[in-house]
Amino acid sequence: MRLSRKSDYALRAVRHLSTLPKGKLGSINSVSEAEEIPREFLAKILKDLTRSGILVSFQGVTGGYRLNHLPKEVTFLNVIEAIDGPVHLNLCTETTNCACEKFDNCQMKGFWQVQEVAFKKSLQREHFGKYKKIKK
Amino acid sequence: MRLSRKSDYALRAVRHLSTLPKGKLGSINSVSEAEEIPREFLAKILKDLTRSGILVSFQGVTGGYRLNHLPKEVTFLNVIEAIDGPVHLNLCTETTNCACEKFDNCQMKGFWQVQEVAFKKSLQREHFGKYKKIKK
DNA sequence: CGATAAAAGATAGTATTAGTCCATAAAAAA
DNA sequence: TTTTTTATGGACTAATACTATCTTTTATCG
């Protein structure tokens, strides 16, 4: 019932990149040091975020990463689902053939569906436009 | 980011017991068969729920389990926390020495705290008084 | 006593999570 | 062109959590 460390790192990395001056890149090394995230693990995370279109990467000596969109256009849900896949609060909301369907009297599935929708809406409302930009 | 199967089983078992006629006991075997939960696994779950005071158990030939309180007084949060421990949506809301505190500019912790409170409130509002009782 | 039920704790298999290692590719700088 | 710095890709490992089973003991009823 808890966010993976990987997704938490991803949010922190994206937040970090969102505060850089427009156009400025953040390298794996710089983000890793600034946010205290294990370097190799972060490399994997940034790669995944790039693949999913949240970040853009540049190789070479002056390379690194930056957001692919405006900070306010990137949401927590975007980042979390890019890393961990679709958010589901219970097994019965992610599979069709769940225990709820075997029993007519299982009225619990509805509860989880409602919670899930509400939670995902909150994650979708939260974006990276609110963090103070680093000057210069 | 998902409820454990163990907690889901626990909710189903408690729901089942909540529908039994007042005073009637449910044995591990009967609950296991009715809800299609692996017998030995369920045994452990019911034991945990008894230890935490949600159920009352009786040994011997006519033994079994029943709720310790009225169905409407038992909440989803009670059951889930009895099985999985305290509900936390992120590591940073369950430890004091988290990454958020190392960085002045981490404003993400507040978000998780708000979400967590809201989610736990929903779990606390949901109880077992709403399920149809089995006659006789 | 014999049958049945829970209690308790050890064990085991599997899956997921978290993290590492290393070889390769790209781009800029020297 | 060579060196340096950076990302890419994939295999690999370690640790932990999850799911489940097995076994022995204790309690109660008939």
- A99 within some domain: no
pLDDT in tens, B13-63: 999 999 999 999 999 999 999 999 999 999 999 999 999 999 999 999 999
CA distances from B124 to B74, B75, B76 (A): 9, 5, 6
CA distances from B93 to A8, A35, B3, B88 (A): 12, 18, 17, 6
Tell me, what's the pLDDT at A39?
98
Residue of A nearest to B126 (CA): A111
Nucleotides of C under 7 A from a protein CB: 2-10, 17-22, 25-29
Tell me, what's the pLDDT at B136?
66
CA distance B10 to B4: 10
Residue B96: band (very low, low, confident or very high) from pLDDT cuts 50, 70, 90: confident
Q: Which is more confident, A85 or B104? A: A85
CA distance B34 to B29: 9
- Please tell me the total count of domains within chain B: 1
- B48 within some domain: yes
Q: Which residue is nearest to nucleotide D30 (CA to C1')?
A: B61
Structural domain boundaries enclosing B48 = 5-86
Using the beta-carbon criterion (under 8 Å), do A131 and B90 form an inter-chain contact? no
- B19 within some domain: yes
Between CA A85 and C1' D27 the distance (Å) reads 49
Give B-chain residues touching A131 at CB under 8 angstroms: 105, 107
pLDDT in tens, B57-90: 999 999 999 999 999 999 999 999 999 999 999 9
- A92 within some domain: no
Q: Is there a contact between B77 and B44 (Cβ–Cβ < 8 Å)? A: no
Using the beta-carbon criterion (under 8 Å), do B1 and A89 form an inter-chain contact? yes
- A95 within some domain: no
Between CA A111 and C1' C19 the distance (Å) reads 36
Q: Is there a contact between B15 and B31 (Cβ–Cβ < 8 Å)? A: no
C-beta pairs of A63-67 under 8 Å, 24+ apart in sequence = A63/A25, A63/A27, A64/A25, A64/A26, A64/A27, A64/A28, A64/A30, A65/A17, A65/A25, A65/A26, A65/A27, A65/A28, A65/A31, A66/A17, A66/A20, A66/A23, A66/A24, A66/A25, A66/A26, A67/A14, A67/A17, A67/A18, A67/A128
Tell me, what's the pLDDT at A66?
98
- B46 within some domain: yes
Q: Is there a contact between B80 and B87 (Cβ–Cβ < 8 Å)? A: yes
How many CB pairs (< 8 A) connect A and B? Answer: 89
Residue of A nearest to B93 (CA): A2
Using the beta-carbon criterion (under 8 Å), do B131 and A107 form an inter-chain contact? yes
**DSSP-H helix ranges across chain A:** 5-18, 28-35, 39-51, 76-84, 99-102, 108-125
Between CA B56 and C1' D24 the distance (Å) reads 23
Using the beta-carbon criterion (under 8 Å), do A102 and B36 form an inter-chain contact? yes
Could you say which of A1, A35, A107 has the minimum Cβ distance to residue B2? A1
Strand partners, B55: B67
**DSSP-H helix ranges across chain B:** 5-18, 28-35, 39-51, 76-84, 99-102, 108-125
Q: Determine if strand C comes within 7 Å of the CB of A86.
A: no
Give the CATH number for residue A81: 1.10.10.10
Could you say which of B111, B118, B131 has the minimum Cβ distance to residue A105? B131
pTM greater than 0.85 (yes/no): yes
Res. B92: pLDDT tops 70? yes
- B49 within some domain: yes
Q: Is there a contact between B94 and B86 (Cβ–Cβ < 8 Å)? A: yes
- B57 within some domain: yes
